[in-house]
Amino acid sequence: MNLTESATTAAGRILTAASDAALTAYRDAIAKYSREKLKSIAKEGADGTPTMFIDVLVEDAIIAAATAAGANVLSEERGWVDVGSAITLVVDPVDGSANAAAGIPLACFSAAVVMDGEFTEASTTWLHTGETWWASRSRSAFRTSGCTSLSSAAVSMLRPHERNRDSWWRVAEQATRIRILSCSTLESVFVATGSTDAFVDAGSDTHRLMDIAAAVVQVEASGGAVIDAYDRPIVFGTDLTKRWSGIVAATDDLAAELRDAIQG
């Protein structure tokens, strides 16, 4: 699906401009630079994590396009860019940077529109293929799988850490299938489209707002649920030090069961 359905609105035009800029910058970067250069650390991002060179190239293009189209931008590398607009884009320029830099085709541009403090529409673009998924709060072309039970669920997960080893294993041993793709926004889209049943951060508090903001729109509009494993609200704010353990699930029942498994 392309962004044609949303392009008549101001927010839709901004999403289209940002998505097009991301795809062009990504393809230019892959064609021009070596993998070593793409994965080199350019700086420390606004979220306190290292920023790869490929992130900088794509983010710069997105911010230029989005601000020229009239939107504020909240992005993980540069942080809050305020142009005084009523529309803000919460942007993950290259989700799956390590994949992209290594030549693994699992990386996405993802953005959610914020108006009056609410996520209103979102799009995710698979940078390797150019495929884009769009949804608004009230409209989605997709439906989740409808899975209600962890024991019958295919679950994508973030890789485990020492701090969440037990919680991670509680989910893994109960699910029927586990995948680790290292691209949160793509894994969330797969929940929205019914390709998989859930995607979770099993209690490691790794997710930033831009990792799950688009999912709040896309998955909920498709019949699913997006919650935090520790019941913290997923709401817009410009503090990039905040973290969540996001649960993106096909149904409310599955989300609740995953939360219980993570909490133990």
Domain range list for the chain? 4-139, 150-263
Tell me the average pLDDT across 204-221.
Answer: 98
Give the bridge partners for 90, in sequence order: 74, 112
Regarding beta strands 72-75 and 87-95, do their DSSP bridges make them parallel or antiparallel, or are they unpaired?
parallel
| pLDDT tens profile 170-181 | 999 999 999 999
The pLDDT-based confidence of 165 (bands split at 50, 70, 90) is very high
Residue 54 has pLDDT above 70, yes or no: yes
Higher pLDDT: 156 or 43? It is 156
| pLDDT tens profile 233-248 | 999 999 999 999 999 9
Tell me the average pLDDT across 202-211.
Answer: 97
Q: What class, spelled out in words, does domain 4-139 have in CATH?
A: alpha beta
Residue 110 has pLDDT above 90, yes or no: yes
Q: What class, spelled out in words, does domain 150-263 have in CATH?
A: alpha beta
| Contacts for 74 with CB less than 8 Å, ≥ 6 apart | 80, 81, 88, 89, 90, 91, 209, 210, 238, 240
| pLDDT tens profile 26-50 | 999 999 999 999 999 998 888 888 8
- CB–CB of 226/212 below 8 Å? yes
Angstrom CA distances, 213 to 216, 247, 260, stand at 5, 12, 22
Residue 212 has pLDDT above 90, yes or no: yes
Tell me the average pLDDT across 105-114.
Answer: 98
Mean pLDDT (the chain) is 95
Fold match between 4-139 and 150-263?
A: no
- CB–CB of 137/222 below 8 Å? no
- CB–CB of 192/135 below 8 Å? yes
**What pLDDT score was predicted for residue 5?**
46
**What pLDDT score was predicted for residue 156?**
98
Give the bridge partners for 158, in sequence order: none
**What pLDDT score was predicted for residue 48?**
82
Residues in the chain: 264
Tell me the average pLDDT across 210-231.
Answer: 98
**What pLDDT score was predicted for residue 7?**
44
